[in-house]
Amino acid sequence: MNEAENLKNEICTVVRHLFERKLIFSLEGNISARLPGSNTIWITPSMYKGQIRPENLVKMSLEGEILEAAEDVKPSIEHPMHRAIYKKRSDVNAIVHTHSPAITGLMLAGVELQPLTVEAALIIDKVRLVPFAMPGSQTLAELVSEKVEGGVSALLLQHHGIIGLGGSLWEAVSVVEAIEGIALTQLIATLLAKRPPTIPEEALKALKAGKVIE
């Protein structure tokens, strides 16, 4: 099995994993990946995610040309957003877009992620909020492109879910799963204590610097 076939199988494994974790639903969410250094991507189509197979994936150029696709299969309408990210970030080889309930709910409520846990302290500085634009639109692709530089690992799409970026598929998956966990923890803490304590400022600075303080 060649590298492309391995990559397609891995995309399908990731889709099923996220579907089972209830981070993507039925026709919602989309995933793409490329081999490092490649100017082509494999992306999921708009279909029921619980049944996706390698032959359903669509191969595209970063300019938007469909290079390989089964008959009557179209790429996700979100492909402009995916392509814009790959063009901007040569280090990104995988993009995972989910409609994760907890983080999407916090966004809709206008609640920002807070450094309540060590994981949150380490990741929230690499998260950016993208204002709403119509799914699949060039406007959304441009807004995403503007926010993706500077080591950003995740984008929160207002009214629309989250994008995780990674050098590999499982790295991108780990980003969306970590942020969903952070959001769920914050939601529970806020329900039980209106103002849960954040990590002390000195410890927060040390965590971000990779230092240990006693």
Catalytic residue ranges: 78
Q: Please give the Cα distance from 13 to 15 (Å, whole number).
A: 5
Neighbours of 63 (CB within 10 A): 9
| Buried/exposed 108-125: b ≥16 CB within 10 Å, e otherwise | eeeeebbbbbeebbbbbe
Largest CA distance in the chain: 62
Tokens of 163: 């994008």
In the sheet with 94-98, reading across from the earlier edge strand, the strands are: 66-68, 58-61, 40-43, 30-33, 94-98, 161-166, 154-157, 127-130
